[in-house]
Chains A and B, each alone.
Chain A
Amino acid sequence: MKKRIILTPYIVWCIVFIIVPMVLVLFFGLTDESGKFTTRNLCEVFLYPDVFLRSLWLGFKATAICLVVGYLSALIISRLNVKLQKILIILVMLPMWMNFLLKIYSLMFILQDNGFINGILSSFGFSKFNMMNTEGAVILGMVYNFLTYMILPIHSSLVEIDEKLLDAAKDLGANYFMTFVKVIFPLSIPGIVSGIAMVFIPSVSTFILSKMLGGRQNFLVGDIIDMHFLGGIYDPHIGSAISLVLMILLLICTGIINQLQNENKSKKGALVI
């Protein structure tokens, strides 16, 4: 009984902010203006296959870059002494405390045709270099915004590794590279998996960022949805349908990632700490 009372606020929260909106999305997505059931909206979604593909593709690229950069950073940080680690981890988290829009505006300022980089280039006599409204700019924006979410889980899984295991590996004849391949990397996979989930999903569903840095030709699913609610084409039914499809896609992705995690966990069932 007590448990239920304690759970009540959570349940209310779930209903108001998760269940109801989901039902609304489902309802809008599957009905027309008169409220009659229709699959027309869902068919409409297939007018944007390129946008969906681009979202997944850019999300994938950004995640891959985050993985490489994030893993290296986490690895280097985890090898430092505790004091320095704390400072660096705070530095890694610092951008999270800054407003999302502000960060994009500053990125725009840096990348613009008469922005920071081009300013420096031209002062050295180089010609200007177009960086705005490119796929690269969008990926940069994603990496910049989500890198933290890759570094943190990987770092925490790296520092969790018992120093004694590394000694044992060295003792048995493994040099640093072999120790990394055979012990450090496999034991950091849980961190990698959650890092991927935490970067890929927000990257795929992000918006604004793509519109501001990538321009019209780099619209992502998020931007299309945005357009159908607040933008030029007002049609909440099609917007909801797109949301629905995106949700299903992400659900599948999460499922795959979870599967990886579970496989890893069942192996980790052998863990003795």
Chain B
Amino acid sequence: MLNEMISLQGVSVFFDSCKVLDNFSLIIKNSEFITLLGPSGCGKTTILKIIGGFLIPDKGRVFFQNKDITHTPPYKRNVNTIFQNYALFPHMNVYENVAFGMRVRKKTEREIAIKVKKMLKMVSLEDFETRDLMSLSGGQQQRVTIARALAVDPKVLLLDEPLAALDLKLRKDMQIQLKTIQHETNITFVFVTHDQEEALSMSDRIVVLDRGKIQQIGSPIKVYNEPENAFVADFMGESNILDGVILDDFLVTFAGRKFRCLDKGFKKKEKVDIVIRPEDVKVVKPEDSDLKGVITSVVFKGVHYEMIIDVDSFKWMVQTTKFIEVGSKIGIKLFADDIHTMRKSKYSGEYGDYSTFSDEMYEAYEHNTNLKKS
């Protein structure tokens, strides 16, 4: 395939007999922005290390444009890495750091000077050439590492949580900047993050990982709207996950009621997981719905309020823009396109029920009860 940049085939990695990656396969396409998304310890860095050549897998092969590079050392690969911590050379200034790869390649000083200028411009650090690294902020240092990696014209850029250490505002700026750079250069980006929002807003494709296994690959919209299992649904954002049974094409029952939905092709009577995003639930007057409940907590989140609603003792998480007091009786309404069905998996029942309070919810709950008391 012409379009194929990197391909991992049946890769396994063991650390002290503990399986980190098990028979892992992934094809990365030319010029795409692909994101590896998963919780800490799921093997994201390990995958990047294999692509970068810093780790030789115990089993399986790695291909770069259809050439086997499983045993090629890093310095011979046309792949560059932005490391999780910046890893800038402390004995060199900004210019020398960016020039490093070209110096190694014995480029002329003229070529180097032109390229360094161009790269620093690309990351908006034009006047920083002679600056010491010490005098740079975290975001600026991160941009130097990006310039340094891009200066050697890689075919693939591996980015290991490059924005994790930055504050929210800077992170958003850098997300846009990275995306722009990727557009301009057409370099394949393999981006690692455990921030689902970042993954959703930047990627062409997202690979959702858990415990070294791919849970789902797809476009951000697809992964968010049509999660394949409860893990993906939960990891891609807050979700209410309920047990359901398929009655027929486009008809499903859960929470003791029947609903129209958009899914078909399941067996009749097949047990499924139902995902409903908190922002899709409509809050109405109790008399307008037969799903009635009581609000047990409300937390202000800036753009919206996040509330927990107890409906027949299943706790729903719902987001609204309107404030409603704790204790109010309300009804909730769902439309066919709010309801997503997923096949049962080993993750079924682990996520998506807010009656088992997470720490965060417990804090909110306590906060509310304290307010009531005072």
Question: Which residues from chain A sit less than 8 Å from chain B, CB to CB?
Answer: 162, 164-165, 167-175, 178, 182-183, 186-187, 267-273
Contacts and interface: CB of A to CB of B under 8 A. Distances in A.
Nearest to A174: B104
B75 A171 contact: yes
B137 to A, nearest CB: 11
A267 to B, nearest CB: 6
Given A173-B101, A174-B75, A182-B100, 10 more contacts: A167-B74, A167-B87, A168-B88, A171-B75, A174-B104, A183-B89, A268-B91, A270-B93, A271-B133, A271-B134
B103 A164 contact: no
B54 A167 contact: yes
A186 B92 CA distance: 10
A270 B88 CA distance: 10
B139 to A, nearest CB: 13
Contact of A171 (B80, B92, B132): B80
Nearest to A161: B90
Nearest to A187: B91
Contacts of A175: 73, 75
Nearest to A271: B90
B315 interface: no
A114 B295 CA distance: 100
A147 B85 CA distance: 36
Kindly list the 3 A-B residue pairs having the minimum CB-CB distance in the complex, ordered from nearest: A270-B132, A172-B101, A164-B87
Interface of B: 52-54, 73-75, 80-81, 83, 85-93, 100-101, 103-105, 132-136, 141, 148-149, 152
A273 B133 CA distance: 10
B164 to A, nearest CB: 15
Contacts of A170: 53-54, 73-75
Given A164-B87, A171-B81, A272 B54 contact: no
A172 B148 contact: yes
Given A182-B104, A186-B91, A187-B90, A164 B75 contact: no
A188 B242 CA distance: 60
A164 B83 contact: yes
A171 B52 contact: yes
Contacts of B74: 167, 170-171
B18 to A, nearest CB: 20
B158 to A, nearest CB: 9
Contacts of A272: 86, 88, 90, 133-134, 136, 141
